[in-house]
Structure 1
Amino acid sequence: MPKAFPKEFRNDVVAVARRGEAPISRIAKDFGVSESCLQRWLKIADVEDGIKPGVTQADAAELREAKKRIRLLEQENEILRRAAAYLSQASPPQMMFPLVLDLAADRIPIAVACRMLGFSKQAFFRWRANPVSQRDWDNAHLTNAAVDLHRDDPAFGYRFISDEIEAESGLRASERRVWRLCSEQRLWSVFSKKRGLNPKAGPPVHDDLVLRDFTATRPDQLWLTDITEHWTDEGKLYLCAIKDIHSNRIVGYSLDSRMTADLAVAALRNAIALRDPVGTTLHSDRGSQFRSRKFVELLRETGITGSMGRVGACADNAAMESFFSLLQKNVLNKRRWHSRQELRLEIVTWIERTYHRRRRQRRLGRLTPIEFEIINSKAAHAA
């Protein structure tokens, strides 16, 4: 494509042609341009000088700039409209970069979209080169681990999750980071006291099969379970106990410094190891430990039938509450306990030595739970 003639040269040729000293064809030939080109230059010059009507170059440039501004305003309006729709979703997105990709597909310049959305082009191109950063990848794994831990035990808040997450998944994260991820997923402990965070008690995972009828005609027919707590100078100590309603014997128990699903699972495993729970029904309240996935799966694996009372109805588990009342009077309220280990040994000693082998119960015919089981076992073998 030939280069354009300089503006000064064009003006000189037009000036010579306007003098009329020679025909247009002769002047065009003398200056080395075509006749049609010279005619066009003359026409443009007449318009620019106001001799003939038409659009001057200044007006044309201004019109082009106006069209450019209008097109830019239309693009900015479209960006704002799309951004409002993008952010009004039920779950608002965490970043705006994907919106820039959608706008670019509709022929809206990336530079305009980034400027209107408030970030630099460099940030967008870095994201496009690596959409999932290493931190986002780590956060996704941490979130999955936190969700699994909270599902296993709804009593876990972010502090317990932070403690367990490294042991369970091998991932390391600060407590603050775990708190942020749990807050985003609304993983709150069921014992949290913050207003508006706690939903109502969850639905029972089992029907109430006992209906306050605490009787059994044979061993391991009906078990009851619950959790109690007591203060020491080191903090709280929690006891989960399982009671066989036939002999009132505590067939399994577990003590720990934290009231988690593992506490209830450990007590149930101890009971299963010592007894033969065939056709056994295990009744509890609607505590989160007894609704946890670990506990329910253990019931299913061992063939134990679950039963669950109502929320806030202590009478639905009254026979278990009576045992905890005896424990409170005979052990917990005796004196101040300085350490968890000290209280733990006292509870275990009272259950195994006093309650099982020395404390006679009128419902059992003035026999201890151990004596009652031995006598009935001999009678069953004799029969």
Structure 2
Amino acid sequence: MGKKVHYPEEVKKKVVQLKLEGNHSNQELMDIFGIKNKSQIKTWMKWFRNGENHRFAQPIGKQYSNGLGPDDENEVALLKKKVAYYEMREELLGKVPGNRKEVVPEVFIQIVEAFKHKYKIKAICECFGVAKATYYRWRGKEWGPTVLEEKILEICEGLTFRVGHRMVRDLLRKEHQIKVNRNTVQRIMQKYHVQCRVKPKRQSYIAGESKIVVPNYLERNFHASKPNEKWVTDITYLPYGEKMLYLSTIMDLYNNEILAYSISDNQEKSLVLDTLRKACEGRDVYEVILHSDQGSQYTSYEFQEETKKRGIITSMSRRGNCFDNAVIESFHSQLKSEEFNPLDRGKLDNHTVREKVETYMYYYNYCRPFKKLNCQTPIEFRVMAA
């Protein structure tokens, strides 16, 4: 194939002018200007008759079929192009989740497939700074979950999405002997939207000194060296049913096991007495320290007599200071944030509320691992230590 010859714009226009005068044949024009083929002259004449004068300026291999040459676009047309580009960019980037610092191949492929009928693939790639060849390479690959991602999803699903990325990292090391940075685990959990529900933070303040009703033998020492050494108890509200319910719970600080709980539609002293009797059943409770707040149920004559009869030593927080009983307060907060949705307030029936509490108590004792228990559940830790 012969080499293509470029004819200047002035030559093309001069040939057309002489041809229109009718004084020269095609062969004469070819000899004068060094044109190799008469079809070239015919093409230039066709452009002139069709009003496509802009095509005289096109270089070899470049066809200005849109009717405008490189220098013919005015400022308004250039501005319109820029506006269209930024509108496209805004629409495409709005579909990208996260901070957009890096392009996730799976997400990018989905975006291209969704918008390729509206925008050119090349334009979309340029918008994200991705080479077109890279896009086609990504499209040909399989983008399913990796082995690590499958393990993380399995752990999260098994624990009903209630644990954070630090606990998942510890379980990967314990159960699968996989060592990975917690930030990697967090990024994968965010990618698949399996983060745990975060409980709301309480306002931090230091309560003033208050009169001690019963000596505070616990003194915020929440560590126990053996089972049935230190218990904590409290009452919390359950405002999710048809009417207000109240939950009384007793926890063993040795392994954070929930020993007993009771639910009632009132917070009379019978509620805490029923919980106490359930916790004492089948256990040696002599000289157990039972810590509570200064609620009227715990300072009542009946409750104090019941604990004294069983050889239990009662201990109480300072008035208005929830931090003296922080462990059981934290547990009740976790129960509400993990098992109940704030939007459920007043929308469930009381039977459903009781079932959800029962389900969570089983999960907490038998399924949920704790970092302080070497990633074991409360029941598992107690059995292993026995």
What TM-score, normalized to structure 1?
0.44
Bigger-Rg structure (1/2): 1
Structure with greater proportional helix content: 1
